[in-house]
Structure 1
Amino acid sequence: MTTSTDQRPRAALFDLDGTLVDTNYLHSLTWWQALHQNGHDVPMARIHRAIGMGGDRILEHLLGSAHDPSQDQRLRDAHHALYATWFDSLPVLDRAADLLRAIAERGLRIVLASSASADEVEAIRAALGADDVISGATSADDVDRSKPAPDLVHQALALTDAAPGEAVFVGDTVWDVEAAARAGVPCIGLLTGGISEAELTAAGPVTVYRGPPELLRSLDSSPLAGKAPRPQG
């Protein structure tokens, strides 16, 4: 997708893991540990590429439709317990909070749209320290289907009173781009989640930036300002 917005958007929807906080590899590690503890040998590279899906999707994606779903809750609980040990030290990406404040100063409503659980979202919000500019948040607990389904994006839009064409989604995975596209919302891709620029670009975001600092520097010429996307190189 290479279309531009026709006017300044009213809302900015943000993924969290890999977009505002540097946690994709923590999720990869703790999912690997949870799977390994329960007898599943899944390469960490495969797990990393699945991060961004919610817990309702990731296990079938990694283990296949023939796996025993009766173990899923135990695996999800094990991952959550392992990941929760990091709640007090989640690494915030450079300039992430500054980016949110700069967007809010330009009059856009900011809503978080994450496939994480509600308590994970709360831990990330505490680490970000930017609740003064965040209008609301959705989590996997709020919807029946997580990314790449569009449910979280629809739910986030409902919190902004903006139409799909009046919002921009910012995420770091192909699942973010796919969920936004299914909801009719243009997506900005960030390379902070460990997905290659070629793969992320192929998913169809309007443009790609290296991370929050580059997007912040380019904010007034970005889709968040209603500008056409920069050429893909």
Structure 2
Amino acid sequence: MTTSPVEPSDTTTATLIPVRDAVIFDLDGVIVDSLAVMNEAFTRAYAEVVGDGPAPFEEYQRHQGRYFTDIMEIMGLPLEMEEPFVRESYRLAKEVRVFDGIVELLTTLRARGLRLAIATGKAGERARSLLDVLGLLPYFDHVIGSDEIPRPKPAPDIVLHALDLLGVTAERAVMVGDAPTDMASAQGAGVSTAAAVWATIDEEELLACGPDVVLRGPADLLAVCPAIPGH
């Protein structure tokens, strides 16, 4: 996928923070709009394992950012829902939409010399497969799933692992997320937080987490990620 870098918008609400060497992104609700696909996969899995009746997808949404099996335990739903949910998610992957402005953002960040990673509540293999299907995988140095660390979000493990793989200190990175679990994970790792509000389920709850930066659109991140010297 080829595109041109863009410059930051004039509408950023961010307060500038120190220069960064790396950006760690959540996946769903930040890079991709997977809500419709997630809803269909969840509904099919619920019908297959639990049976008749409305699938409690709105409650599931409130736990976004956590690993699927953790959400099932919180909601008191059978862990057997994971297999059909994952199966349907793979089947529907091509229907997932990339948010407007994301490709331009990733292109510009790479041109500026920043290293990029994904730290997601998804399993790593499924996250990498989805990004590959959507043509986004080459933008990222590392893609880490919740099944690849000891403790998933809101624990800091996934962000700490991303820092290790990227070879940067916490002070030189920022995490972009759309859920309180993202903010908690980054804050626990000592990483600055950027709240992506373009698709968050509950903006008020997200902002109550005290993010360092509020992003109204993807390009707003460019204001806090200037080019690394030499790029």
Does TM-score exceed 0.5, indicating one fold? yes
- Contact (CA 8 Å) 2:156, 2:189: kept in 1 or not? yes
Q: Does 1:133 align with 2:144?
A: no
Secondary structure of the residue that 2:198 maps to in structure 1?
Answer: helix
RMSD value, Cα:
2.3
**Paired amino acid for 1:34:** A
Q: Does 1:98 align with 2:100?
A: no
The total of aligned residue pairs comes to 212
- Contact (CA 8 Å) 1:88, 1:123: kept in 2 or not? no
Structure 2 alignment gaps of length 5 or more:
1-13
Cα deviation, residue 163, structure 1: 1.0
Residues 4-15 of structure 1: pairs in structure 2 closer than 5 A: 5=17, 7-15=18-26
Residues 207-218 of structure 1: pairs in structure 2 closer than 5 A: 207-212=213-218, 216=219, 218=220
Identity of aligned residues (%): 28
- Contact (CA 8 Å) 2:142, 2:165: kept in 1 or not? yes
- Contact (CA 8 Å) 2:21, 2:113: kept in 1 or not? yes
Q: Does 1:160 align with 2:173?
A: no
Aligned residue in 2 for 1:196: 202
| TM-score, normalised via structure 2 length | 0.82
**Paired amino acid for 2:65:** G
Aligned residue in 1 for 2:44: 33
Question: For the structure 1 residues 49 and 76, does the alpha-carbon distance in structure 2 shift closer, same or farther, using more than 3 Å as the test?
Answer: same
Cα deviation, residue 42, structure 1: 5.1
Secondary structure of the residue that 2:168 maps to in structure 1?
Answer: coil
Cα deviation, residue 89, structure 1: 2.7
Q: Measure the CA separation in 1 of the matches of 2:179 and 2:36.
A: 13
Q: Measure the CA separation in 1 of the matches of 2:196 and 2:71.
A: 21
Question: Which has the larger displacement, 47-56 or 12-21?
Answer: 47-56
Question: Which has the larger displacement, 41-50 or 200-209?
Answer: 41-50
- Contact (CA 8 Å) 1:27, 1:51: kept in 2 or not? no
Q: Measure the CA separation in 2 of the matches of 1:87 and 1:141.
A: 19
Which protein is richer in helix relative to its size?
Answer: 1
Q: Measure the CA separation in 2 of the matches of 1:36 and 1:23.
A: 20
Cα deviation, residue 3, structure 1: 8.5
Structure 1 alignment gaps of length 5 or more:
227-233
Q: Measure the CA separation in 2 of the matches of 1:54 and 1:210.
A: 26
Question: For the structure 1 residues 191 and 219, does the alpha-carbon distance in structure 2 shift closer, same or farther, using more than 3 Å as the test?
Answer: closer
Cα deviation, residue 140, structure 1: 2.0
| TM-score, normalised via structure 1 length | 0.81
Aligned residue in 2 for 1:142: 148
**Paired amino acid for 2:114:** L
Residues 54-133 of structure 1: pairs in structure 2 closer than 5 A: 54-63=67-76, 71-72=78-79, 74-133=80-139
Deviation per residue, 1:164-198 (Å, 9 max, x gap): 11100011111111111111111111123332321
Secondary structure of the residue that 1:57 maps to in structure 2?
Answer: helix
Cα deviation, residue 128, structure 1: 4.2
Secondary structure of the residue that 2:143 maps to in structure 1?
Answer: strand
Aligned residue in 2 for 1:221: 223
Question: For the structure 1 residues 9 and 36, does the alpha-carbon distance in structure 2 shift closer, same or farther, using more than 3 Å as the test?
Answer: same
Equivalent residue in structure 2 for 1:23, among 21, 29, 34: 34
